[in-house]
Every structure is written in C-alpha cells, then in structure tokens.
Amino acid sequence: MVVGLGGAAGDAAAAPAAALIHAPLSVEPAPIPRPAFESALAAARDFNALAASVAADHAWLEATLAPAAAAGDAFTARLLALRRGTARTPPTDLALAVTRADFMAHAPTGALLQVELNTIASSFGCLGGCASALHAASAARAGWGADALARLPPNTAKASIAAALAAGAAASGLGREGVILFVVQPGERNAYDQAALAEQLWAAHGLVTVRATLEEVAAKGRLEGSGGDGPAEDPRAPPGGRPARVLTYDGVPVAVAYLRAGYGPGDYPSEAAWAGRALLERSTAAVCPTAAWQLAGSKKVQQALAGAGVTEAFLAGAPGASPASVAASAARVRSHYAGLWSLDAADHVSAASPDGRAALAALLRDAAARPGAFVLKPQREGGGNNTYGPALGAAAAKAAASLEAGGDGGLGAFILMQRIEPPSHGATLVRGGVASDGPVPCVSELGIFGAWLGRGGDGEGGPPPPPLLNEPAGHLVRTKPAGADEGGVAAGFAVLSSPYLVG
C-alpha cells in the first residue's frame, strides 16, 4: 500500500529525498456498529443538501461569519472577501463539492456524533480505499468466514470521487476538451492519494489531470473569452453569444478546478496565491469547492446550524427539497449533532442575561471546571488547531473573567464543542515500516464522503434547481492511540484503517 506522507509529522525533512514510505496504517480494521455506519451513510445526501443551501445564502454566511472574522480571524475575513468580490452567477455557474462528514461514537450514549463536515480538500478517499482492500485481502488470506468478510463494506471512494469530478467536467461544457486541474500545496506530501484519483480519471473517464499550486494558477492561468471583472458566463453559450470566461492553465482549458489546497492560511503564502484562488472563483470551471462552499464547512457554521430551527430552514431551502422530505432529512442530520456553543456573547442574549455576557461567562465557568468535557475550536482545517484539557480550562477561565469584567471574552472566533468520548478498541499500528508491539488501545473516526454538483449562486431568483449529483461517495476510517487528542493522518496523529461492521 502506497505512500508519500513521510514519517510522523515533523520528520519529513529527515527522510531521504527520493524515498517513498507507506502511509501509516492499522493491521486490523476498526469495529464500527453497523447501525451507526448505515445511519451516517443515510445522512450523506442530507449533509450535502444542507451545505449547498448554506453556501447559496450569502447574506446568512456574512451575518454568521463576519463577527468571528471581526474577532480576530483574518483568514475567514479573507475568504468572505473573496466570495464577495467574485460572486458566482446563477444559474449557470457550477458548484462541485467532495465532502467528508467525520464522526466518532460517543461511548456513554452510543450515538455516532459528527466531528465536522469537510467541504474542501476532503482527502484520503483513495488511500482509505487501499486500506479497505488490504484488510479484505488479508482477512480472506487468514481464512475468515463469509459472515466476517461481509462485515468489511466495499469502499467506492476512488471511483465515486472520480465520477463526481467527471460529472463536473461534463457539466462544464468542455468535457474531455478540458483538463481537471488539481490545485495542490507546494511540496505536497499527500500526492499519492491524489495520484490514484488522477489515474482513475484517466482510466474510467479519459480525463487528463494537471497539477498546480495556487501561485502557479496565478502565473499561468487566464480567463479566456473576456477580460476584467463582471459576471461569469455560460461556456455553452451559442456561437455568437457573449464569450465565456473559460479558465485556461498554460493555454489548456480547465473543466474542473479541484482544490486539495487552500483550506488554511499556510496555503496562501503570497498575494499571488489569493489571486490564483480568485481566478478559479471567477471562471466558469466547476470549482470544487467554491469559496461559499468552503465557508459553509466552517466550524462556526456547524455550530450555528445546531441552533433551533436553523438546520430545518436550510434543508427546506435546499436545492431539490420537497416539504415532505424536510422533517425526515432534519431528523437524520440532527441525530448526529454533538453539543455546540457559540462563544460570542451576542448569541447568548436572554431576559436573564440582556447582553449575553453573564450567560456566556456561566458556560465558560462550566467548561473551566470540566475541561475534559469540551473541545475549543478555531475556524481552521487540517488538524492540530484545537485546544483540549488543561489548556482549554485556562482559556475558558480567562474568557469568563473577561466577560465578568465587562469585556468580550476574546473567544468570538472560536466555538466550544462537546468532547466526544469514543470507545476504545485494540489495533496494531504500523508507521514508517514499524509495527506497534501488538495491539494498543485506540479510538476510531469514521468519515463518509459525499459528492455534490449543482448550479446556482446566491439564492436570488427563486428556488435553486435540483442538484445534478448528490450521492454518498465512499468512506474512511482513521484510528489513533486512545490518548491522542487530535486525529489527522497527514498531521501524524492517526493511521488509515477500514470499518469492520459489528452488530
């Protein structure tokens, strides 16, 4: 099983430049209750529809995220500005998304709770599929019976994600004339997960992939057919119609821009990188994802969606929603919500707490007293950003004191989340070719990929049209030692695994 991640986080520089290393993996699959797996799978289309509906509501995104941006989150502020400055035009512009909803079981209740919904650079579909195949092959070799083998679900992630990108290419009007542009990080360490997808795009769809960083997009990208700003136009416009804003890279038309970078501030080392992102956003390529979709996957949005009636309202306004389906859809989604709290006093206003300060201070005093029951999260992706345990307790106590003294607490750019307590299971972890000394206590996180393709931009001009694609798109299990707070594979905390369905 391939490769390319370097060793654990931090020692990539020490690895020989030309060497490959296997991705970290678990020898055994991870036990996942079958009802939980099926419930997460059944909610995949709902989570996609919800995010699409949020992404289309620019006014709500502004109202929800601008306070967090103003509270010191320059990256979110920049993404909001990007979306504002490059508004994609309904009904022609395409929004393509490869999502991954991440879950962990909460042992005290047995509920499968959502950790987060990723709407940008949802990775490890292909290497996760390798883990599934490896576990199935070794189980067969070990002589597992038919019942046990049937507990290893086939993983369609590679085929499904490639099919989604191909659908984007077809809808772009360019089809096989256009390439799929993989937008990657400089010195990308997860290139092999992406390479398998590029192979699949060629083998199954005859589509060519080109890789570029955001800075390279700025240097070699052009919008053909019209200059300057203004609304994007339909590349399928009839001859003689207004020229389209087709993105070209190095002179080659781009059907799909697939971002595997751009999710964190480190991906924008220069203004050129932001210019590259804006070029994508202004083009008629199927952008995966648009800035609006990226914002719809932010932690603050996740927290706001948990508010009374908010999920229901967005599902009711989702592309293709029918009134009859909304309640069931909302129930599927809400059954996976963990406790989520805003840390902006304005969201805690009540008769008892007219400016919200006292109510928020009480919440933070509770978090300070029980720091193990919560996670403190900024608006960041990519792992390693959250605060846990004693550091969370100290931050909560400081914020509470600030609020009690009439300040704003200073945590408005963060959210507070219930800490999920996943059940422990044994797993033998292999990193850098070295296996742990037998199974060690571990916990596992289940990811369900989803694929979405739709048209429509800002929710004006009537209900959005039904999506062109809304499907589950495979799964991923990541396993980490029971004591570890964080969970990223690329970040060096977790290893790849696959589900073994129990019950």
Q: Residue 467 has what DSSP assignment?
A: P
| Member of 445, 468, 471, 473 binding ligand ADP (CB under 6 A) | 445
Q: Is 151 a catalytic residue?
A: no
Q: Is 123 a catalytic residue?
A: yes
Q: Which residue is nearest to ligand ADP (CB)?
A: 487
Q: Is 299 a catalytic residue?
A: yes
- CA 472 centroid distance within chain: 14
Q: Which stretch binds ligand ADP (CB under 6 A): 80-88, 150-158, 373-381, 449-457?
A: 373-381
**To the nearest whole angstrom, how small is the minimum distance from the Cβ of residue 277 to ligand ADP?**
19
Q: Is 381 a catalytic residue?
A: yes
For 98, 325, 341, 361, the CA distances from 378, given in Å and listed in that order, are 22, 33, 12, 19
**To the nearest whole angstrom, how small is the minimum distance from the Cβ of residue 121 to ligand ADP?**
10
Query: Phi then psi for 2, rounded to 5 degrees?
Result: -80, 165
Q: Is 116 in the site for ligand ADP (CB under 6 A)?
A: yes
Catalytic position from the list 88, 260, 478, 480: 478
Q: Is 382 a catalytic residue?
A: yes
Query: Phi then psi for 396, rounded to 5 degrees?
Result: -65, -45
Contact letters (x/-) for ligand ADP, 85-114, by CB under 6 A? -----------------x------------
Closest by CA position to 112, among listed 44, 35, 50? 35
Q: Is 417 in the site for ligand ADP (CB under 6 A)?
A: yes
Q: Decide if 333 contacts 315 (C-beta within 8 A).
A: yes
Tokens of 98: 């490869």
Tell me whether residue 465 or residue 483 sits nearer to ligand ADP (CB atom): 483
**To the nearest whole angstrom, how small is the minimum distance from the Cβ of residue 302 to ligand ADP?**
9
Q: Decide if 377 contacts 411 (C-beta within 8 A).
A: no
**What Rg, from alpha-carbon coordinates, does the chain have?**
22
Tell me whether residue 116 or residue 281 sits nearer to ligand ADP (CB atom): 116
Tell me whether residue 135 or residue 419 sits nearer to ligand ADP (CB atom): 419
Q: Is 365 a catalytic residue?
A: no
For 228, 289, 341, 372, 394, the CA distances from 366, given in Å and listed in that order, are 53, 37, 12, 11, 12
**To the nearest whole angstrom, how small is the minimum distance from the Cβ of residue 285 to ligand ADP?**
25
Query: Phi then psi for 156, rounded to 5 degrees?
Result: -95, 10
**To the nearest whole angstrom, how small is the minimum distance from the Cβ of residue 134 to ligand ADP?**
22
| Beta pairing, strands 179-183 & 209-212 | parallel
Q: Residue 413 has what DSSP assignment?
A: T
Q: Decide if 63 contacts 79 (C-beta within 8 A).
A: no
**To the nearest whole angstrom, how small is the minimum distance from the Cβ of residue 58 to ligand ADP?**
23
Question: Tokens 């599929």 label which residue?
Answer: 129
Query: Phi then psi for 461, rounded to 5 degrees?
Result: 80, 40
Q: Is 82 in the site for ligand ADP (CB under 6 A)?
A: no
| Member of 54, 77, 87, 115 binding ligand ADP (CB under 6 A) | 115
Q: Is 116 a catalytic residue?
A: yes
Catalytic position from the list 225, 339, 382, 384: 382
Count of residues that interact with ligand ADP, criterion CB under 6 A: 20
Question: Tokens 């608006």 label which residue?
Answer: 379
3-class SS of residue 13: helix
Tokens of 28: 């055994």
Q: Is 343 in the site for ligand ADP (CB under 6 A)?
A: no
Helices 389-404 and 357-369, packing angle to 10 deg: 150
Tokens of 237: 């416009």
Tell me whether residue 115 or residue 127 sits nearer to ligand ADP (CB atom): 115
Q: How many residues does the chain have?
A: 503
Give residues with Cβ within 8 angstroms of 121, minimum separation 6. Answer: 259, 260, 261, 262, 263, 381
Q: Is 100 a catalytic residue?
A: yes
| Member of 4, 464, 487, 499 binding ligand ADP (CB under 6 A) | 487
Tell me whether residue 107 or residue 150 sits nearer to ligand ADP (CB atom): 107
Q: Is 386 a catalytic residue?
A: no
Q: Is 366 in the site for ligand ADP (CB under 6 A)?
A: no
**To the nearest whole angstrom, how small is the minimum distance from the Cβ of residue 444 to ligand ADP?**
10
Query: Phi then psi for 244, rounded to 5 degrees?
Result: -85, 165
| Member of 54, 288, 338, 453 binding ligand ADP (CB under 6 A) | 338
Q: Is 286 in the site for ligand ADP (CB under 6 A)?
A: no
Which residues lie across from 223 on neighbouring strands? Answer: 247
**To the nearest whole angstrom, how small is the minimum distance from the Cβ of residue 245 to ligand ADP?**
32
First to last CA, the chain: 29
Contact letters (x/-) for ligand ADP, 374-393, by CB under 6 A? -x-x--xxxx-xx-------
Q: Which residues bind ligand ADP (CB under 6 A)?
A: 102, 115-116, 338, 375, 377, 380-383, 385-386, 417-420, 445, 486-488
Active site residues: 100, 116, 118, 123, 299, 377, 381-382, 478
